[in-house]
Amino acid sequence: MRLLRGLAAGLQQAPAYMDLYAHSLWALLTVNRWLPLADPALAEALAAYIARLLNHDGITPRARGELSSVHYVLRENST
């Protein structure tokens, strides 16, 4: 859980490293799809932030794909 919180914070605080954070979040949630259930408030806030990122230009195609997957996992576990 601590890793998810750290990656979520890093994604927001260090936009220059978005690709790294996107990939790390993607890898973490691909292996641990249940993780958002441990902190629904964090998952909801992260999903909202990622949705805003996906609506903007300026992110690489790889980061966009990985963030889309992360967003899906977060949304899938919130219902």
Q: Each residue of 48-65: pLDDT tens digit?
A: 999 999 998 889 999 999
pLDDT at 58: 87
pLDDT at 79: 63
Q: How far apart are CA 74 and CA 60, in angstroms?
A: 21
- Whether the pLDDT of residue 68 is over 70: the answer is yes
- Give pLDDT tens digits for 5-45: 999 999 999 989 999 999 999 999 999 999 999 999 999 99
Please give the residue that has the higher pLDDT: either 45 or 1: 45
pLDDT at 8: 95
Considering only CA atoms, which of 41, 14, 28 is closest in space to residue 70?
Answer: 28
